[in-house]
């Protein structure tokens, strides 16, 4: 990777990934693109406004900057996708096809993330295998399964160097999430610091895989730098750090904020999505093929999250 273009660069993952990539490869070698104009630290390097559903825009910007690697993150997330399924298909699939076509035409290395949402209620719930039944019941999940297959197709049919991971719920203090089912975990940390109480829209006892953002960013870079000869799967590697229910987060927080309280007001839409997902993932393939390993468990992440949020709020 020498010249990298990131779509969806102002989202939860992109806003942190752009900074990390610029630190690693040079500020002028990472082009941040989004449908909105960049501000703040992201705007200190090369930026472009791009609608990924416009194939020509994407192609022209990649050509302009002589890109050799594209990281395609632009997408409508799970809860938002259920509110507007047609728009989700237009952005998530139309944008992905355009990005893959640009990668094919310009011979780019290509990354796009899948998700735990690519699984469905008939998938094995515990230690979900790398290769297993995928019959999601959400538009977001359908998009992700189709995206995994499409990325594989562009590799086998056209030789595009496509790579990807299935992200669990991602937790970060930097950029607030935007419409994901696992967003409750991030909200809980902020409310713990601000008000010492949180009302969860996900029900008690609902396990989902989670990961701290630093581990997610490292996984992207590690996979993209991996020797292609070692990749048997290439796209949609299961990765995980820990599996947790809302009470687990509350217990970890109480070690630092003893009077924190957790209540519940379940959102039926997001709960139905959560219930269709696995409790935990088996990341053996990622560990064996490119050395994936998460650094943060729940307690280590909680300590860091609370510390960073306190600093952020006090500014």
Cα separation, 112 vs 163, in Å, equals 7
The residue annotated as part of the active site, out of 65, 140, 154, 198, is: 140
Which residue, among 248, 243, 244, 242, has the nearest Cα to 262 in the 3D structure? 248
Q: How far apart are the first and last CA of the chain?
A: 36
- Is 65 catalytic? The answer is no
Q: Using alpha carbons, list the distances in angstroms from residue 175 to 275, 302, 313.
A: 26, 16, 13
Residue 233: count other Cβ atoms within 10 Å of its Cβ. Answer: 17
Contacts of 278 (CB under 8 A, 6+ apart): 116, 119, 123, 124, 125, 126, 128, 208, 209
Strand order from edge to edge, sheet including 69-72: 47-49, 30-34, 4-7, 69-72, 109-111, 161-163
Among 49, 143, 34, 38, smallest CA distance to 87 is for 143
Q: Which residues are catalytic?
A: 140
């Amino acid at each position: 990777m020498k010249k990298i273009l990131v779509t969806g660069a102002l989202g939860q993952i992109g806003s942190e990934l752009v900074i990390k990539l610029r630190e690693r490869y040079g500020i002028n070698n990472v082009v941040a693109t989004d449908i909105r104009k960049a501000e703040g630290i992201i705007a200190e390097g090369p930026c472009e406004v791009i609608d990924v559903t416009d194939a020509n825009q994407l192609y022209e910007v990649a050509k302009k900057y002589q890109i050799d690697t594209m990281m395609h993150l632009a997408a409508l997330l799970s809860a938002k996708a259920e509110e507007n399924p047609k728009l989700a298909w237009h952005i998530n699939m139309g944008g992905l096809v355009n990005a893959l076509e640009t990668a094919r035409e310009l011979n780019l290395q290509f990354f796009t993330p899948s998700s735990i949402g690519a699984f469905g209620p008939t998938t094995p719930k515990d230690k979900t295998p790398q290769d297993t039944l995928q019959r999601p019941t959400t538009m977001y999940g359908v998009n992700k399964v189709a995206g995994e297959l499409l990325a594989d197709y562009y590799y086998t049919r056209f030789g595009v160097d496509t790579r990807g991971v299935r992200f669990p719920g991602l937790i970060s203090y930097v950029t607030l999430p935007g419409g994901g089912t696992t967003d409750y975990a991030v909200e809980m940390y902020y409310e713990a610091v601000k008000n010492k109480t949180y009302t969860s829209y996900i029900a008690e006892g609902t396990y989902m895989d989670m990961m701290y953002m630093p581990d997610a960013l490292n996984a992207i870079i590690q996979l993209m730098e991996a020797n292609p000869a070692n990749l048997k799967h290439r796209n949609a590697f299961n990765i995980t750090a820990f599996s947790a229910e809302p009470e687990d987060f509350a217990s970890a927080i109480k070690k630092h904020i003893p009077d924190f309280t957790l209540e519940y007001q379940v959102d039926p839409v997001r709960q139905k999505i959560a219930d269709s997902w696995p409790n935990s993932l088996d990341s053996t393939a990622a560990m064996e093929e490119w050395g994936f390993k998460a650094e943060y468990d729940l307690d280590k992440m909680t300590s860091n999250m609370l510390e960073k949020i306190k600093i952020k709020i006090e500014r």
